[in-house]
Chain A
Amino acid sequence: MALINLTSIQPTGYTVLDDGAVPGEGENVAIGVDRLLHEGDAFFATAGSVGVIIDTETPFAKLTQIVEKIGFAIVDFPAFADGRGFSLAVRLRKDFGFKGEIRATGPVIPDQALFLLRAGFDTVETTDARKPAFEAALERFPAFYQTDFGGQLSVAHARHTQGGQITEEQRLSRKAPERQREAS
């Protein structure tokens, strides 16, 4: 497995906790939405950083009570074409102001790298074989028509930025920031 780091965040190492298993002292763990909603204070006192694994059937409203309890979030795509995963990341950032790591797991494909970054994802778990294609895809487009959750301003706004922080030349020659990539 390879981890693609889209945003230069410090990625969280964690264990996916089996049903019924308890976290070790200070252990970073990931659990499903329903379990997270039922765990009490003791669980959170014991564990280190707690992450939530969100499947794409989860209605975003269910995340309301979750965000304050978690350090990181994992959106698990059952299929790369299941676009609900992108909206879940947007909701976490936009509706709940979540600042922690959002990771994509499941069969997402390299050609989605910039879509993932722009929807608010930080990291992607993928196969080693796909790492080069993911890295290439991240460098592909110099600009976009939408303001996004990767921090890029839309072309429509950039065209009219007075004395802009970003000149057109800078934007068009813009290289994606140096990204750390590490195997997990």
Chain B
Amino acid sequence: MYAYDTYDHAMVNARVAEFRDQVERRVKGELTEDEFKPLRLMNGLYLQLHAYMLRVAIPYGTLSANQMRTLAHIARKYDKGYSHFTTRQNVQFNWPKLSETPDILQELADVEMHAIQTSGNCIRNVTTDQFAGATADEVADPRPYAELIRQWSTFHPEFSFLPRKFKIAITGAKQDRAAVKWHDIGLVVKENAAGDIGFEVLAGGGMGRTPLIAKPMRDFLPVEDLLSYLEAMLRVYNEQGRRDNKYKARIKILVDAMGIEEYTRQVEAEWEKIRHIPIDVPAAEVARIKSFFAPPPLAVLADEVPDVDDLAQKNFIFKSWLANNTGSHKVPGYVNVTISLKPHGGIPGDASDEQMDLVADLADSYSQSEIRVSHEQNLILPHVARRDLPALWSKLDAAGLGSPNAGLLTDIIACPGLDYCALANTRSIPIAQSITERFDDLKRLMDIGPLKIKISGCINSCGHHHAGHIGILGVDRKGTENYQLLLGGSGAEDASKAEILGPGLDEHGIVDAIEKVVAVYLGEREDGEEFLSAYRRLGADIFKEAVYGTH
């Protein structure tokens, strides 16, 4: 993974010193809260319902074992012994003291981490495929390009006070696990006929109260033009994006209003003017960054491991875990392991300090000291030898980290909701807990198969409900919590927007409704047909009848 040089270190250390000074000036009253707010936000510090919340960047979701240990240490020393992994592959601490946040940032800087631009109206953490560099189905590892974008977008002199936040996602695989079409800018790594690497460029996706799927701008942008093209995209947005209404300020609204053709025309005209000035970096710099992401030296091993098969024969839970939580690797004999942070009845995405320490130790033993965070709020150990799976699983299972439900109905994305968030209308976590308790039967879950439930406690959509096969949106109805049910969304390469099925339901009714929706699916599915395909074939009416019908 990427390692800081003296420049990178100097910059994060300067940033910590700067924030320490800003906190002192705020405490002394030299900065008003209005002035301090964007500064603290650009260091990831939010004011939530009960306390400050610090959001720490995990660039493109890649962590070392030592970095994970530092996160565990921070959870122990400065927080209440846990942290929360988010849908932007970041991690949040819910209870830091304002006066201690500079110390936390310094502890992070010491292990090459930061909270820079994890909030505020600037370019946020670039997200990518959690299996990047390790999956069998990718054109190229997207992380070197994500790092290139991280550096270019950090403290950008022109794009640090945008109309609104700005999110970029990049995938290198055909199967889109990074939801690139739901981003302000989506990039898909491609290889052209000559064997050169480039990007398909999409713009104008986003969730919130106006969900829109990104539209294609360019089929192939060469690597050497990446940053100048992004610069042109951001400049047109910075100049023309709306600033009169924060709900209309994202690039999706601009692109929708001017049309993708006109936006593309303006961007390309600007790009032609700037592509020859030193925005794009020398080829040697791309090569330098790439060298940090060289595949680990893995000796090819046998895919067939009798011990693994024996245990799977005897133990249905291990068999399920093997089927759901391990995925194919580039190198024979290896897999990528998803550690589910979705125990039934638990809080999606939360991990305790002991669990984080354990994952760090397991990464040292089994996954080249590397850990990933997925936007689905799980942890990943890449590059695990298949023969190590029984030992790894038993250690995870003993720590409450062995849930075999990755990709199943109970692998729910949920925002923090009204339990933490100042913006929320409703709670999200208790709904996720009720659903996982209702669907606690593993055999039934395995029978239902891949099904993504995503829950947001307000229209801001942090829980990605628009992209859920089943989405749940919490709304406030005359002072009571009410939940809308949406069906048919997708965050994958076949991105689609979930549609509201009917009137909202209360917190019990929404769980009953999911049961009914699943029953329709099980009754109507064709051989091997997954939920989303069945929904698309059947249409909404039959589900509507089941949930709201009077007979």
The interface of chain A, by Cβ under 8 A from chain B, is 59-60, 80-84, 86-87, 90, 94-95, 109, 111-112, 114-115, 118-119, 129, 133, 136-137, 140-149, 153-160, 168, 171-172
Q: Could you tell me if A147 and B235 are in contact, using CB atoms closer than 8 angstroms?
A: no
Interface code B99-131, partner A: CB below 8 Å = 1, 0 otherwise?
A: 000000000000000000000010000000000
Contact of A154 among B160, B243, B278 (CB under 8 A): B278
Q: Could you tell me if A143 and B11 are in contact, using CB atoms closer than 8 angstroms?
A: yes
Determine how close the nearest CB of chain A comes to the CB of B105; give it in whole angstroms: 15
State whether the Cβ of B151 lies closer than 8 Å to any Cβ in chain A. yes
Determine the chain A residues whose CB is within 8 A of the CB of B274 once the complex forms. Answer: 94
Q: Do A111 and B18 contact each other (CB < 8 Å), given the known contacts A83-B162, A87-B235, A159-B5?
A: yes
Residue of B nearest to A58 (CB): B239
Determine how close the nearest CB of chain A comes to the CB of B64; give it in whole angstroms: 22
Among B17, B38, B156: residue with most chain A CB under 10 A = B156
| Complex Cα gap A21–B274 (Å) | 40
Determine the chain B residues whose CB is within 8 A of the CB of A172 once the complex forms. Answer: 6-7, 10
Determine the chain B residues whose CB is within 8 A of the CB of A59 once the complex forms. Answer: 239
Question: Interface range on chain B: under 10, 10 to 19, 20 to 34, or 35 or more?
Answer: 35 or more
Determine the chain B residues whose CB is within 8 A of the CB of A114 once the complex forms. Answer: 155, 157
| Complex Cα gap A171–B235 (Å) | 28
The interface of chain B, by Cβ under 8 A from chain A, is 5-7, 10-11, 14-15, 17-18, 21-22, 25, 30-31, 35, 38-39, 121, 151-152, 154-163, 235, 238-239, 243, 273-274, 277-279, 281-282, 284-285, 288
Determine how close the nearest CB of chain A comes to the CB of B70; give it in whole angstroms: 24
Determine the chain A residues whose CB is within 8 A of the CB of B279 once the complex forms. Answer: 146-147
Residue of A nearest to B153 (CB): A145
Q: Could you tell me if A143 and B7 are in contact, using CB atoms closer than 8 angstroms?
A: yes
Residue of A nearest to B158 (CB): A86
Q: Could you tell me if A83 and B7 are in contact, using CB atoms closer than 8 angstroms?
A: no
Give 6 A-B contacts (CB < 8 Å), ordered by A residue.
A94-B274, A95-B273, A112-B161, A141-B155, A168-B7, A172-B10
Q: Could you tell me if A160 and B152 are in contact, using CB atoms closer than 8 angstroms?
A: no
Contact of A145 among B22, B155, B277 (CB under 8 A): B155
Q: Do A142 and B282 contact each other (CB < 8 Å), given the known contacts A82-B161, A159-B288?
A: no
Determine the chain B residues whose CB is within 8 A of the CB of A141 once the complex forms. Answer: 11, 14-15, 18, 155
Determine the chain A residues whose CB is within 8 A of the CB of B6 once the complex forms. Answer: 168, 172
Determine how close the nearest CB of chain A comes to the CB of B15; give it in whole angstroms: 8
| Complex Cα gap A140–B17 (Å) | 8
| Complex Cα gap A129–B30 (Å) | 9
Among A60, A137, A141: residue with most chain B CB under 10 A = A141
Residue of B nearest to A145 (CB): B151
Q: Could you tell me if A156 and B121 are in contact, using CB atoms closer than 8 angstroms?
A: no
| Complex Cα gap A81–B510 (Å) | 41
Contact of A86 among B5, B157, B163, B277 (CB under 8 A): B157
* Nearest 4 CB-CB pairings of A with B: A83-B161, A118-B157, A156-B281, A145-B151
Determine how close the nearest CB of chain B comes to the CB of A55; give it in whole angstroms: 13
| Complex Cα gap A86–B5 (Å) | 29
Q: Do A156 and B11 contact each other (CB < 8 Å), given the known contacts A81-B38, A81-B161, A168-B6?
A: no
Determine the chain A residues whose CB is within 8 A of the CB of B121 once the complex forms. Answer: 81, 83
Determine the chain B residues whose CB is within 8 A of the CB of A145 once the complex forms. Answer: 11, 151-152, 154-156
Determine the chain B residues whose CB is within 8 A of the CB of A86 once the complex forms. Answer: 157-161, 238
Determine how close the nearest CB of chain A comes to the CB of B103; give it in whole angstroms: 19
| Complex Cα gap A77–B5 (Å) | 36
Q: Do A83 and B10 contact each other (CB < 8 Å), given the known contacts A95-B273, A159-B285, A160-B285?
A: no
Q: Could you tell me if A156 and B14 are in contact, using CB atoms closer than 8 angstroms?
A: no
Determine how close the nearest CB of chain B comes to the CB of A126; give it in whole angstroms: 12
| Complex Cα gap A153–B243 (Å) | 31
Q: Could you tell me if A155 and B151 are in contact, using CB atoms closer than 8 angstroms?
A: yes
Determine the chain A residues whose CB is within 8 A of the CB of B158 once the complex forms. Answer: 83, 86-87, 90, 115, 119
Determine the chain A residues whose CB is within 8 A of the CB of B17 once the complex forms. Answer: 140
Q: Could you tell me if A83 and B238 are in contact, using CB atoms closer than 8 angstroms?
A: yes
Q: Could you tell me if A142 and B10 are in contact, using CB atoms closer than 8 angstroms?
A: yes
| Complex Cα gap A15–B11 (Å) | 40
Determine the chain B residues whose CB is within 8 A of the CB of A149 once the complex forms. Answer: 157
Among B18, B35, B161: residue with most chain A CB under 10 A = B161
Residue of B nearest to A152 (CB): B157
Q: Could you tell me if B18 and A133 are in contact, using CB atoms closer than 8 angstroms?
A: no
| Complex Cα gap A81–B122 (Å) | 11
Determine the chain B residues whose CB is within 8 A of the CB of A156 once the complex forms. Answer: 151-152, 281-282, 285
Determine the chain B residues whose CB is within 8 A of the CB of A171 once the complex forms. Answer: 7
| Complex Cα gap A63–B405 (Å) | 59
Determine the chain B residues whose CB is within 8 A of the CB of A90 once the complex forms. Answer: 158, 235
Determine how close the nearest CB of chain B comes to the CB of A153; give it in whole angstroms: 7
Q: Do A146 and B239 contact each other (CB < 8 Å), given the known contacts A141-B11, A159-B285, A172-B6?
A: no
Determine the chain B residues whose CB is within 8 A of the CB of A80 once the complex forms. Answer: 35, 38, 161
Q: Could you tell me if A146 and B243 are in contact, using CB atoms closer than 8 angstroms?
A: no
Contact of B157 among A111, A146, A153, A168 (CB under 8 A): A146
Q: Could you tell me if A144 and B14 are in contact, using CB atoms closer than 8 angstroms?
A: no
Determine the chain B residues whose CB is within 8 A of the CB of A157 once the complex forms. Answer: 278, 281-282, 285
| Complex Cα gap A79–B17 (Å) | 26
| Complex Cα gap A171–B278 (Å) | 18
Determine how close the nearest CB of chain A comes to the CB of B59; give it in whole angstroms: 13
Q: Do A84 and B239 contact each other (CB < 8 Å), given the known contacts A142-B10, A146-B279, A157-B281?
A: yes
Determine how close the nearest CB of chain A comes to the CB of B223; give it in whole angstroms: 14
Determine how close the nearest CB of chain A comes to the CB of B42; give it in whole angstroms: 9
| Complex Cα gap A50–B123 (Å) | 37
Determine the chain A residues whose CB is within 8 A of the CB of B277 once the complex forms. Answer: 94, 147
Determine how close the nearest CB of chain B comes to the CB of A169; give it in whole angstroms: 9
Q: Could you tell me if A153 and B278 are in contact, using CB atoms closer than 8 angstroms?
A: yes
| Complex Cα gap A153–B285 (Å) | 14
Determine the chain A residues whose CB is within 8 A of the CB of B159 once the complex forms. Answer: 83, 86
| Complex Cα gap A114–B273 (Å) | 25
Determine the chain B residues whose CB is within 8 A of the CB of A94 once the complex forms. Answer: 273-274, 277
Q: 6 extra interchain contacts, Cβ-Cβ under 8 A, other than A84-B239, A156-B282?
A: A84-B243, A94-B274, A136-B21, A142-B10, A145-B154, A147-B279
Q: Could you tell me if B278 and A142 are in contact, using CB atoms closer than 8 angstroms?
A: no
Q: Do A155 and B18 contact each other (CB < 8 Å), given the known contacts A83-B160, A146-B152?
A: no
Determine the chain B residues whose CB is within 8 A of the CB of A83 once the complex forms. Answer: 121, 158-163, 238
